[in-house]
Amino acid sequence: MKKCLQIALSCALGLAALSCAYAQGTFQNLNFEAAQLIPIPGDINGAVHFDAAFPGWTGYLGNQQATSAIPNGLPISFTYNPFIVLATPYAMQGNYMVTISGGYGYPPSPNWTPASIAQIGTIPAYAKSIKLLTNQPNVPGAGAGLVRLDGVAVQLYHLGSTANYGEMWGGDISSSAGQLRELRLFGGWTSFDDITFSPSPIPEPGGYELALFAGALLLWKRGVGAQSTNHPQHNSALRIGTPTFSLE
């Protein structure tokens, strides 16, 4: 059993390494680390130009395209207006993350104005899932439309927590692999970081399932070995190979 668990752990680490090593299609700046802070002169919030702060992304406040973002803080009007913030001190990974929230405007409107960021790109052909960090340990309604592809909400599953107070979520996007899609993130005081397209499925097999898989593989190999021992007269013609399993 100990050996099975070691094999299972190796499989899990291998899957994680594959997720990091694969290219992310034609999408860019999915970890927000390409930010350049170019101040807008005279802005009372200390805002910076959006396109330089979020290369590859387009910001939206309602139906209006965002031209600015707030670095390292909240706008003076954050209690009622939608906003997009490029956060530095508390990034869940690396140096930067994005924080997004809609609002009711001022004077308050009965209608919520959403805030979002989006980019259009080709999803990698290998992708079975999308994974990302948020500051939300509990997301109502399996994601509540936080992540959307061409306007369709991706159902999210909680995958675990990180040391920097990040919560990892993931969802199945296998039907969009190799396709041109708009990726859009919506938020209600929601932070996002470290978005990746992964070859591993969501929900992922847990440690118990991987241990069962490893145990079955080990039993299969022992069974084949026993057959070859019981029939030595066929050994010269018997070619025993380890089967190739796809973990994608």
Three-state SS annotation for 22-42? CCCCCCCCCCCCCCCCCECCC
Give the model's pLDDT for residue 11.
Answer: 45
- Given this structure, which CATH class describes domain 23-198? mainly beta
Nearest residue to 242 (alpha-carbon basis) of 226, 222, 221: 221
Give the model's pLDDT for residue 102.
Answer: 87
Give the model's pLDDT for residue 223.
Answer: 57
Q: Where are the domains of the chain?
A: 23-198
Cβ contact 64:56 at 8 Å: no
What's the sign of the alpha-carbon dihedral 156, 21, 2, 211?
A: positive
Supply 166's token pair: 């990040």
Supply 222's token pair: 């022992």
Q: Which residues of the chain have pLDDT under 70?
A: 1-22, 74-80, 106-107, 139-144, 204-248
Give the model's pLDDT for residue 206.
Answer: 55
Give the model's pLDDT for residue 140.
Answer: 55
Amino acid letter for position 159: L
